[in-house]
Amino acid sequence: MVKSEKLSRDLGYIRQRVRKKAADYQTYHFSRRQNDILKTFFDLAQEFDTLQDFYRICVAVPSLYLDLQVRLYLFDINIDKLQLICDSQKGLHPEPSPAPAYLEPSTAPYEHGDSYLVPIARKHYDSEDTPVHFLQNRLLGMLEVLPRGEMTAADYLFFAKYTNRIAYNLHNRRLVQQNIRHLEFINNLVMDIEHNVIIPNMYFRHLFNQLRRHIDSFSGIIQELPEGEKQPADQDVRERLRAIQEELSKNHRQLLDHHANTSLFLESLFRRDHFKKGHLVLKTRLCSVESEIIQPQLENYLKRFELYGIEVEHPTGMEEEVYLTVDIGLLSQVYANLFSNGVKYTAEITRKDGIRRKALAYGWEFRPDFFGPGMSGIKFNVFTTGPHLRRDELSRIFEDGFRGANAGDSPGTGHGLSFIKQVVEIHGGRVGCEQVEEGNNFFFVLPLPPPLATLDSV
């Protein structure tokens, strides 16, 4: 109901603007030729793509209709001056030339001799981002028309509207070119990441294997040391070396796990297909969600949970493995984000029986017909103790940039849950958050393939 009312209000405002424009046009008193100029400019601006052709259109249309000389000057912010780009007699200038001395950047149209000069300025917005300096931030250029002859108020208004249309198109075309350059840069950056980060990262596994061999050699040397009650010093050395060997083995396992997790994230985040298609692209295979996705991420966060006094609980009755065809890298990052939020936002509560509890729990449950008749799913839960999120926050918590009132000074951008939503939805699933006893439960539901969807339980 709220959304419907908002759409109604928005439509009402658009209708109001339409009526205002219709009334304005009645007061413009443009001639038929002037209206034809605006329509011709609009049509040709849609027809030609390049900036060079657009510059030609800006001067050619009024020149041919009104038998005028027209010159287009654009503001070069690098030298803080206007440059002549195109005119109706010589066409496009291969190299921009300085504007004549009489032509100065201005916020308003003005006359000089037989010339009429009109500013080309992009639209002004009243917001915190409004540029302070008009010439540097809004002025795109100037349009010169001559001979101006006897111009009427309708002529002045016409050229103001004409240059407004030039500014709108020019600003948008520059944005498009800028976006294209950005995309080219990103694509090149992705190739650099693949070549200079991901491939060299694979060399670490070779180094880890060498380290493993050295640890094994170290262990063999320990076994060769003499042993017995008559050599207490040797025995002490043996125990110290064995302790070092065990610590090295432990560190080796940690390095391997950390490298595997980092490699997984690098590969899944900087996958070239993401950037080619402009959205997340799945690379799926059948896997055990518990052992291949949840457990590796949980192990990465166990030390942090322990440091913050958070008990990790795995509900009973869920011993059976869940197998789904998913993108392991992306879904692993879903759990990494949820566990990371668990570290930051899990809070201690007092239960009804007076026992204090600070815990995170995870699990899953079968949801028959969740996606419709015969289309079941599995609901994956990550629960944390603490104050409930507000009702109005539950519907917005997965919006990009939104942070709940309980975020306080905790570091974050509000992007993590939005990323989770993207990953889950591209898998065909849904996300949500719900208030439950003692805290909040973040969940997502993934569809089961048809052969598994007929099961009665998981």
SS (H, E, C) 27-95: HHCCCHHHHHHHHHHHHHHHHCCCHHHHHHHHHHHHHHHHCCEEEEEEEECCCCEEEEEEECCCEEEEE
Residue carrying the six token digits 């509890």: 357
Q: Token digits for 271?
A: 């996958």
pTM here? Answer: 0.61
Answer positive or negative: Cα dihedral of 346, 347, 353, 355. Answer: positive
For tokens 């839960």, the residue is 381
Could you say which residues of the chain have pLDDT below 50?
1-2, 125-136, 453-458
Task: Give pLDDT, residue 294.
Answer: 94
Start-to-end CA distance of the chain, whole Å, equals: 37
Residue 202: per-residue pLDDT:
67
Q: Is 74 exposed, middle or buried (0-12, 13-18, 19+ CB in 10 A)?
A: buried
CA–CA separation, 354 and 369 (whole Å): 39
Quick one: pLDDT at residue 451?
57
Strand-pair category, 439-447 with 110-112:
unpaired
Residue found by looking up tokens 């040397």 in the block: 221
CB 333 within 8 A of CB 265: yes
Enumerate helices (H) and strands (E) in the chain, giving the number of each. 15, 15
Q: What is the pLDDT of residue 11?
A: 82
Report the SS3 class of residue 344.
Answer: helix
pLDDT at 245: 80
Tell me: the pLDDT tens digits for 352-378? 888 999 999 999 999 999 999 989 999
Is residue 438 within 8 Å of 351, Cβ to Cβ?
yes
Question: Residue 187: what pLDDT?
Answer: 72
Q: Are 130 and 138 in contact (CB under 8 A)?
A: no
pLDDT of res. 200? 62
Write down the pLDDT at residue 238.
72
